[in-house]
Amino acid sequence: MTFATSAPAKMSRALLNFQGVIILIIMMSVCVALTGCFNREPHADLVIANGAEPESLDPAIIVGLSEMRIVSALFEGLTRLNPKTVVPEPSLADRWEITPDGLTYTFHIRSNIVWSTGEPITANDFVYSWVRALDPATASDYAGQLFYIKNAEDFNAGKIKDPNLVGVHALDAQTLRVDLVHPTAFFLDLCAFQTLAVVPRQAIEKYGDRWLMARPLPSSGAYELVSWRLNDKVRVKKNPRYWDATNTQVELVDFLPVGSATTALNLYETGAADVIWDKDLLPTEQFDVIKQRADSHTFTYLGTYFFRFNVTRKPFDDARVRKAMALAIDRERLTRRVTKAGELPADHLTPDGTANYHPPRGLGYDPEQARKLLAEAGYPGGTNFPRFQYMFNAAAGGASKIHEKIAVELQEMWRENLGIEMDLQGVEIKVLYANQSHLEYEVCRSSWIGDYNDANTFLGMFRSDDGNNRTGWKNPHYDELIYEANLQTDKLKREELFQEAEKYLLTEEVPIVPLYFYAGFNLFDTNKISGIYPNILDVHPLNAVRVNRSQQKK
């Protein structure tokens, strides 16, 4: 392609043409862009800044808290948790009997309950849902919650192929019988847990993996799914066919997957969001100002922040070293200077306020004792102590850098009190988890949020064969204590055994060191919104929420 140079006049015409074309193209694309891409829809009655984008809304495979909040509105189970006391109360099952040995539960499903699309919900649906959660093909991370049921663990491990052998059976359309392996004091709490919620067989059999894309999506909870736009919002509306629909007040609710605390605050301050209810969405540096406000609500929470030692690596194979490092940490300083959200320093693992349990005292802050122990272990004053790495997940984007801050403080404390040197190792979160699982770390940051209101959810993890142990610490004495505790029907005896186990874990063996207990945090205006109660599990069923419409900002 060649151009002959033409006379200026011809060129200016060509130039004008060219300019005109360019301008036209730009204008057209702008118009297309502007009109095509916005979703105009009615404003929701309640907008909640929820936390991370949900990976899935399938009750059997979700793991995270932000997913659970949405799923609990869509799919319910035999029981649900009371919004104030988090004690299990009847939901889809209106009554039940338990045999005196605590091994057999018989649930009576409410008559006439239906899916939001009209089909009846029966005991067979529960059998289907629970077996599906246990099915190895579903690959549910939380299948372990069902292992208290007879043969459930073997079925999940593939040792048994016949689902009929699993201890859950529908005696008839309204009656469900469950056989347990041993008495489980918190089984009714588990029935309110998402993994045991009932899922629509009709949709799953029809659509397979994409059943959540079906519209309308049959739901068994107080709300049904209107739309789910990735990284944008999840919108739910009131399910008129819910058994307790008369008590559901809010019509339309939006869940926003907000990534950073600052954005969440911006949205809240401008009225675009009515509630912030995820403690990760709190900018910790500003907490001292925020907590003075009337709309901030903090409460104790069933979660602990701790770190793990890899006890298979030197020098952490020596319990004295671990104990010394634990004694050298001033937890009160951490919560005062770094986290600042009113968290409580933790010297024991199970948070205070756990049902039926009073945790024992653990190791405190005693730098003198720490130095003595370290010297005993062969590293007086920190000499010859190898330089080690503390692994944590590096914050991406606007996420809080709290793990980094804590790491910096720990580094300083260990250097000051013990004379040992530590390096910070920030990695991607998936890399952190992988390294934890494969014991490829030296010291790494962890946390645990209780699944149900019982000490077992914290202490059971550190049994020798539990997948969540991830420290390499195997101790038959501890295993036995936990096993014995779980066999007890007597609450006091159970508590005693758990206390003994926890004391052993945290004061003698110390494979982990708890740092603080999470504080729950909600931000909402009590004049506008009620029904969100501070409870230890931070569960807030939408069914209980009330919005004061006269106070609504627009």
Partner 1 sequence: MYFLKRIAFAIPLLLAISMIAFVLVRLPKGGPFDRERAPTSPEITRNIEARYHTDEPIWKQYLRYIGAWWERDEKGQWHHAPAGFNASLRYRNHAVLDVIETGLPVSLTIGLLAFCFSMAIGLPMGFIAASKRGRWQDRLLNLLALLSVCVPGLVIGPLLALVFGIKLRLLPVALWESPLHAVLPVVALGIFYSGRVARLMREGMLGVMQNEFITAARAKGLSETQLLFRHGLRLAILPVVSYSGPMLADLLTGSFIVESVFQLPGLGVFLVNSLNNSDYPMTVGLVLLYAIVLLGLNLIVDFLHAWLDPRIKYG
Partner 2 sequence: MDDPTPNLGEQIETRELAVGESVLDLRQQAWQRFKRNRLAIAAAWFLVVLAAFVLIYPLFSAYKPEALSDAQFQPPSAGHLLGTDAHGRDLLVRLCYGAQISFLVGIVGATVSLVIGVMWGAIAGYAGGRLDGAMMRFVDVLYSLPTIIFAMVLMSAVEPSLKTWLGHLHFENPGKFARLLLLFVGLGAVSWLTMARIVRGQVLSLRSRQFVDASRALGASPLRILARHIIPNVLGVVIVYLALTIPAIILYESFLSYLGLGIQPPMASWGSLIAEGAGQINPIRIYWWLIIFPGGLMVMTLLALNFVGDGLRDAWDVKGN
- Tell me the torsion sign for CA atoms 71, 74, 75, 80: positive
**Which of the residues 164 through 193 are near partner 1 (CB under 8 A)?**
none
Question: Which tokens sit at 386?
Answer: 């190898």
Residue 161 within binding range of partner 1, rule CB under 8 A = no
How many Å separate Cα 383 from the centre of its chain?
41
**How many Cβ atoms from other residues are within 10 Å of residue 241's Cβ?**
17
Determine the Cα–Cα distance for residues 455 and 150; give it in Å rounded to an integer: 22
* Bond into 216 cis (ω within 30): yes
What are the angstrom distances between the C-alpha of 190 and each of 76, 199, 217, 244, 493? 12, 16, 25, 21, 21
- Which stretch of DSSP H or E encloses residue 147? none
CB count within 10 Å of CB 59 equals: 28
Q: Where in 459-488 is the site for partner 2 (CB under 8 A)?
A: none
170 - beta bridge partners? Answer: 176
| Residue 411 lies near partner 2 (rule: CB under 8 A) | yes
Residue recorded with tokens 């979160």: 429
Q: Which of residues 122-141 bind partner 1 (CB under 8 A)?
A: 136-137, 139-141
Q: Of the two residues 15 and 487, which places its CB atom closer to partner 1 in the complex?
A: 15
141: left (phi over 0), alpha (psi -120 to 50) or beta: alpha
Q: How many residues bind partner 1 (CB under 8 A)?
A: 81
| 286 counts as binding partner 2 under rule CB under 8 A | yes
The one of partner 1, partner 2, none whose footprint includes residue 470, by CB under 5 to 8 A per kind, is partner 1
Alpha helix (H) residue ranges in 135-208: 152-157, 187-191, 201-207
Which of partner 1, partner 2, none has residue 426 at its interface (CB below 5 to 8 Å by kind)?
partner 2
Q: Is 295 in the site for partner 2 (CB under 8 A)?
A: no
Burial track 93-129 (b if 16+ CB lie within 10 A, e otherwise): beebebeeebbebebbbeeebebbbeeebbbebbbbb
Torsion sign, CA atoms 60, 242, 40, 68? negative
Q: How far is CA 17 from the centre of its chain?
A: 61
Name residues contacting partner 1, limited to 397-426 (CB under 8 A): 397-398
Applying CB under 8 A, the span of 9-17, 228-236, 408-416, 476-484 interacting with partner 2 comes to: 408-416
How far is Cα 118 from Cα 224, in angstroms, rounded to an integer? 13
Q: Which does 387 bind (CB under 5 to 8 A by kind): partner 1, partner 2, none?
A: partner 2
Sign of the alpha-carbon dihedral angle for 474, 476, 480, 481? negative
Q: Which is nearer to partner 1, 404 or 495 (CB)?
A: 404
Closest CA to 402 of 305, 528, 513, 537: 305
Q: How far is the CB of 35 from partner 2 (least distance, A)?
A: 28
Q: Which of 10, 20, 63, 293 binds partner 1 (CB under 8 A)?
A: 63
**Single residue of 408, 439, 449, 461 touching partner 2 by CB under 8 A:** 408
Q: Is the peptide bond before 315 cis (omega within 30 degrees of 0)?
A: yes
Q: Among 76-84, 144-152, 398-406, 481-489, which window interacts with partner 2 (CB under 8 A)?
A: 398-406
Among 24, 30, 289, 487, which residue sits at the site for partner 1 (rule: CB under 8 A)?
Answer: 30
CB 407, min distance to partner 2, A:
7
Chain residues 188-247 in contact with partner 1, contact rule CB under 8 A: 209-213, 229-233
Distance CA 60, CA 144 (A): 11
What is the token pair recorded at 503?
A: 């004391």
Size of the site for partner 2 (CB under 8 A): 34
Is residue 162 a contact point for partner 1 (CB under 8 A)? Answer: no
Q: Which stretch binds partner 1 (CB under 8 A): 93-101, 323-331, 442-450, 478-486?
A: 442-450
By CB under 8 A, residue 401 contacts partner 2: yes
**Residue with Cβ nearer partner 1 (139 or 492):** 139
- Per DSSP bridges, beta strands 252-256 and 233-238 are antiparallel
Site stretch for partner 1 (CB under 8 A), options 124-132, 239-247, 392-400, 524-532: 392-400
Within 163-272, where are the H helices?
187-191, 201-207, 261-269
Asked if 283 touches partner 2 (CB under 8 A), the answer is yes
Decide if residue 285 touches partner 2 (CB under 8 A).
Answer: yes
The one among 299, 433, 483, 504 contacting partner 1 by CB under 8 A: 433
In angstroms, rounded to a whole number, what is the distance separating the alpha carbons of residues 541 and 539? 6
In single-letter form, the type of residue at position 161 comes to K
Q: Which does 117 bind (CB under 5 to 8 A by kind): partner 1, partner 2, none?
A: none
Residue choice 10, 20, 24, 55 for contact with partner 1 (CB under 8 A): 55
The gap from C-alpha 109 to its chain's centroid, in whole angstroms, comes to 28
CA distance 123 to 478: 38
Question: Contact letters (x/-) for partner 2, 313-332, by CB under 8 A?
Answer: --------------------
135 binds partner 2, rule: CB under 8 A? no
Neighbours of 504 (CB within 10 A): 16
String of contacts with partner 1 for each residue 263-282, x by CB under 8 A: x--xx-xx-x----------
Window contacting partner 1 (CB under 8 A); options: 104-112, 313-321, 441-449, 497-505: 441-449
Contacts of partner 2 in 426-445 (CB under 8 A): 426-428, 431
| Shortest distance, position 429 Cβ to partner 2, whole Å | 10
Mask: binding to partner 2, 368-387, rule CB under 8 A, as x and -? -------------------x
Q: Binding partner 1 by CB under 8 A: which of 46, 61, 191, 198? A: 61
Q: Does 389 bind partner 2 (CB under 8 A)?
A: yes
In total, the chain counts a number of residues equal to 554
- Beta carbons of 440 and 391 less than 8 angstroms apart: no
Binding stretches for partner 2 (CB under 8 A): 261-262, 265-266, 269, 283, 285-286, 289-290, 337-338, 387, 389, 394-398, 401, 404-405, 407-409, 411-412, 423-428, 431
